[in-house]
Amino acid sequence: MVELAGRQSIHVFADGDGPPEPEICRVDGAEGNLWRVDVPVGTAGDVALPGRTAIRGRPREPVSDADLAPYRPEWLDLFYVPRVLPSRRKKPIKPLDGDTLQPRWVIGPDNRQELNETSWPWGCVGKIFTSAGWEGSGALVGRRVLLTAGHVVPWADVAAGNWWMRFVPACYNGKSLHGAGVQSYVSDVSGFNPDLEGGASAGWDRAVCRLYEPLGNPLGHFGTLPYDPAWNGQRWWINMGYPGHMWFLGASYESGISINGANSDLHRGLECRHFGDITPGNSGGPMFTFFGAGNPRIVAVQSSDSADGDMVNFAAGGPGLDDDVAWARANWPA
């Protein structure tokens, strides 16, 4: 963890067969001990660390007796309520008719708050950057496993053979609060997407990712649990994510969310209908709560909103989510 926090990595293609030779020089006139590092970049340019394999398919078979428990490293504090920042919310835009414009997915007043938090488990949620140019949210669910929404994966770039995803835990203004170099690119993906033929259900909109860096070792991770429709109407749930084009520099946080309906499909997926405040960028963020002391469990990931004017949001959950995480933990250990 100390090593990751104290370095900043870049990836470049070098000309020839040998390594590039960087030059280091002091920045003249700058206050403090400020230096510039120049790295020769070959004709192929600088690159992100590319992904290796990405499987887009139907839900897998259930895994029996899987360990889906959370993990907290001893060095991290456990907070049941995170520390929030004062609001920097901008005044809403007023159109000519005098009404108020609000993001389409926000239902009523926006109840989200901004976090500045590295304690467990809040510091296990992070921002995802992709080769497609869009951004999403995700959470650590294993020593090397990231959970997000299926549509966050840049599937078109995967098909073209040139894709990457970068995960920054506890992201604030583009960098991790854990330290400048605490991040990881994704090496492998196994996931689904509502665009998959025969899979229009938002309950399928999930993906598990293998990280090059086992960030779950120093930072810990969430557990998962299938959502029980008997919990409908209970205001237990917490959602975190990284809404774009708004005032948030850190993660958004909203508690007291109720799931008011859960539609199951034939493939162990579950569409969880809720009225939490969601805008683009929140996709893939976890819906979770504490099931006892030190036991945070994710039951779904933010997926989409209703397209028929009902003003309701959907999160993807169900036993299939646990199947994915169990498979990833077994096949992508630390």
Structure confidence at residue 279 (pLDDT) = 86
Structure confidence at residue 310 (pLDDT) = 66
pLDDT at 309 over 80: no
What are the pLDDT digits (tens) for 228-243?
Answer: 999 999 999 999 999 9
Confidence category of residue 137, pLDDT binned at 50, 70, 90: very high
Residue 288 lies in domain: 53-331
More confident residue, 167 or 64: 167
Question: Are both 35 and 118 inside the same structural domain?
Answer: no
Question: Residue 17: which residues within 8 A CB-CB, separation 6 or more?
Answer: none
What are the pLDDT digits (tens) for 30-42?
Answer: 888 999 998 888 8
Question: Are both 14 and 42 inside the same structural domain?
Answer: yes
Structure confidence at residue 109 (pLDDT) = 73
Question: Are both 22 and 78 inside the same structural domain?
Answer: no
Question: Are both 62 and 208 inside the same structural domain?
Answer: yes
Tokens of 284: 């893939």
Question: Are both 243 and 202 inside the same structural domain?
Answer: yes
Question: Are both 64 and 23 inside the same structural domain?
Answer: no
More confident residue, 110 or 53: 53
Helices (H), the chain: 2-5, 155-160, 216-219, 319-331
pLDDT at 329 over 90: yes
Q: Are 190 and 18 a contacting pair, CB within 8 Å?
A: no
Angstrom CA distances, 75 to 1, 172, 217, 290, 312, stand at 11, 22, 11, 20, 39
Question: Are both 32 and 104 inside the same structural domain?
Answer: no
pLDDT at 70 over 90: yes
Angstrom CA distances, 294 to 81, 138, 218, 220, stand at 12, 20, 17, 12
Q: Are 117 and 83 a contacting pair, CB within 8 Å?
A: yes
Question: Residue 149: which residues within 8 A CB-CB, separation 6 or more?
Answer: 136, 205, 206, 207, 283, 284, 301, 302, 303, 316
Question: Are both 288 and 145 inside the same structural domain?
Answer: yes
Average pLDDT along the chain: 87
CA pseudo-torsion sign 169, 171, 174, 177:
negative
CA-angle at 86, arms to 237 and 180, nearest 5°: 85
What is the domain count for the chain? Answer: 2
Q: Which of 296, 298, 257, 264 is nearest to 278 (CA)?
A: 257
Structure confidence at residue 3 (pLDDT) = 86
Separation CA 74–CA 9 (nearest Å)? 27
Q: How far is CA 182 from the centre of its chain?
A: 15
Which amino acid type is present at position 156? A
Average pLDDT, integer, range 58-85: 87
pLDDT at 104 over 50: no
Question: Are both 85 and 164 inside the same structural domain?
Answer: yes
4-18, 66-80, 99-113, 183-197: least confident range? 99-113
Average pLDDT, integer, range 217-236: 95
pLDDT at 245 over 50: yes
Please tell me the pTM assigned to this model: 0.89
CA pseudo-torsion sign 244, 245, 249, 254:
negative
pLDDT at 199 over 60: no
Separation CA 84–CA 194 (nearest Å)? 34
Average pLDDT, integer, range 281-291: 96
Question: Are both 220 and 105 inside the same structural domain?
Answer: yes
Confidence category of residue 105, pLDDT binned at 50, 70, 90: low
Average pLDDT, integer, range 109-114: 85
Give 197's Cβ-side CA count (13 Å radius): 0
- The residue assigned the tokens 């901004």 is 114
Confidence category of residue 195, pLDDT binned at 50, 70, 90: low
DSSP 129-171: EETTS-EEEEEE-SSSEEEE-GGGS-HHHHHHT---EEEEETE
Confidence category of residue 72, pLDDT binned at 50, 70, 90: very high
Separation CA 281–CA 219 (nearest Å)? 23
Domain CATH number, residue 108: 2.40.10.120
Tokens of 327: 């498979």
Confidence category of residue 7, pLDDT binned at 50, 70, 90: confident
Structure confidence at residue 124 (pLDDT) = 98
Question: Are both 135 and 75 inside the same structural domain?
Answer: yes
Question: Are both 264 and 144 inside the same structural domain?
Answer: yes
CA pseudo-torsion sign 102, 103, 105, 106:
negative
- Residue where a domain terminates, one of 28, 47, 66: 47
Average pLDDT, integer, range 178-191: 94
Phi, psi of 123 (to 5 degrees): -75, 0
Structure confidence at residue 157 (pLDDT) = 94
Q: Are 174 and 308 a contacting pair, CB within 8 Å?
A: no
